[in-house]
Structure formats: C-alpha cells, structure tokens
Structure 1
Amino acid sequence: MTFTAEKVSPDIVIVRGAGTLDMVSALELRAIIAAAISRGDCRIAMDLSGIDDVDWSGLGALVSCLTRARRAGGDLRIAEPSDAVVLGLHRSKLERVFEVFDSADGAYRE
C-alpha cells in the first residue's frame, strides 16, 4: 500500500492511496493524516480510486481519520472511491457518515 499527500491550498490536502487498505496500511494512513492535521491541513480529500481492496481495519482507519479531522475543525471527504471502497462503505453503512465526491478536486470546491 502506498499513500501520497499533495497540499492544494493553505488548509486542504489530497491524500491518494493505492493497493489494499487493511490493518497494516491503516497505520500508515493514520500517520499521514495525523501529520497533515498537525501542519494545519485539516480539510482532507481522500482519493480512493486506487484502492483494490478494503477490510474492516481499513474502514475503521477512515472513521478514525474523519474524527480526528473534525476535532481539528476540518473534515475528511472521500473522492473517486473504487468499487471495493463503495462496497465496503455500503456493507458497513458508512456511506451515511462520509461525504463522497466524484473527484478529489471537487471535494472542497465551494
């Protein structure tokens, strides 16, 4: 699993993931999000188009990161979710918790 983070405005960062979002990669995701928030990048767009599989630990990490972002006065929005992510969100009923967008650039377009 690989993650990249790209700052696109003073407080917005796009985090892109590729591979499997599971218990191991969830730790890396939490660390990347924590680092972004500590730099003041509290509005996060998660581009999940490259995720080929997600398990319960991965979904739990997304919820944890969302909570952390909101506590810092921001938000975490999902962009371009892969079919695996859409299925995981649906099965876990988390589709009601996350805002989902067609593109990472559009997640914070106002």
Structure 2
Amino acid sequence: MTIAQKLQVVLFKPQGSIDLQGGMALSQSMAEVVPQPDQLWVIDLAEVDFMDSSGLVPLVKTLTTARQSGCRLVLCHVKAPVRLILELTQLESVFEVFDTYDDILNLVSKQPLALAS
C-alpha cells in the first residue's frame, strides 16, 4: 500500500485484492491519516484486481469518516471486477468514481473542494 500526501490531496493506492485481509490493511493505512477539513482523499484502485463484499466495509467506513470530517473521498481507476461489486451493491451511486487521477485533479483545479453529498 502506498500513501502519498500533497497539498490537500491524500492518495491511497491499495494493491492486489480488497478482501477481508486486504480490506483490513486498507483500513489500517487510512486510519494513520488524520482527516483535515477540505482534504481530498483519493483511492486509486489501478492495482486492485478483485474486491469482495468484505472489502466494501473499509471503503464505506472511510467514506463516512471523510464526510464527517469535511473531506471528500473519490475513487479512480476502478477495474471491471471492482466496478461490478460496486454496481451490484448500488454503491456506485454513493461513491464519486473517476476514470483517472488526472480527471480528479482537473476537476479540483476548476472548483474548490466541497463536501461530497
């Protein structure tokens, strides 16, 4: 897992599978970052090939934490198997999903950060 923080963007890059074990690792990494109002948390899923229902728990918990802290959480590079899980659970409408990290940065440069609703 790689975590990078630059300006008000916090980037998480999980790798492999987000299942029970991978989800716990993701939760631990995210818990190490203290949320600050107006931060943008990006979960880049480019290196995640599989996610099951137990992997959704850390994503939903982190989304809740981010929103309560005034942060915005978005997903990018969501591969087909992961997107399918989000669609089946109807969470694709809860998370903001972008194709690429650059798409997120382009959006942020055009508008101030705001709390996702």
Give the shorter-chain TM-score range. 0.7 to 0.9
Matches of 1:94 and 1:86, distance apart in 2:
9
- For each residue in 1:25-64, what CA deviation from the matched residue of structure 2 results, as whole angstroms up to 9, or x when unmatched? 111111211222x163842111001111101011121111
1:1-110 matches, cutoff 5 A? 3-9=1-7, 11-36=8-33, 38=34, 40=36, 42-108=39-105, 109=108, 110=110
TM-score (norm 1): 0.86
Q: Measured at CA, do residues 50 and 62 of structure 1 come closer, stay the same or move farther in structure 2, by a change above 3 Å?
A: same
**Which structure has greater strand proportion?**
1
Q: How many residues were matched structurally?
A: 106
Which structure 1 residue ranges, 4+ long, deviate > 3 Å from structure 2? 39-42
Q: Give the letter for the 1:40 counterpart.
A: Q
Unpaired segments ≥5 residues, structure 2: 111-117
Mark the structure with the bigger radius of gyration.
2
User: Which runs of 5 or more structure 1 residues have no equivalent in the other structure?
Assistant: none
Letter in 2 for 1:4: T
Structure 2-normalised TM-score?
Answer: 0.82
AA of the residue aligned to 2:36: G
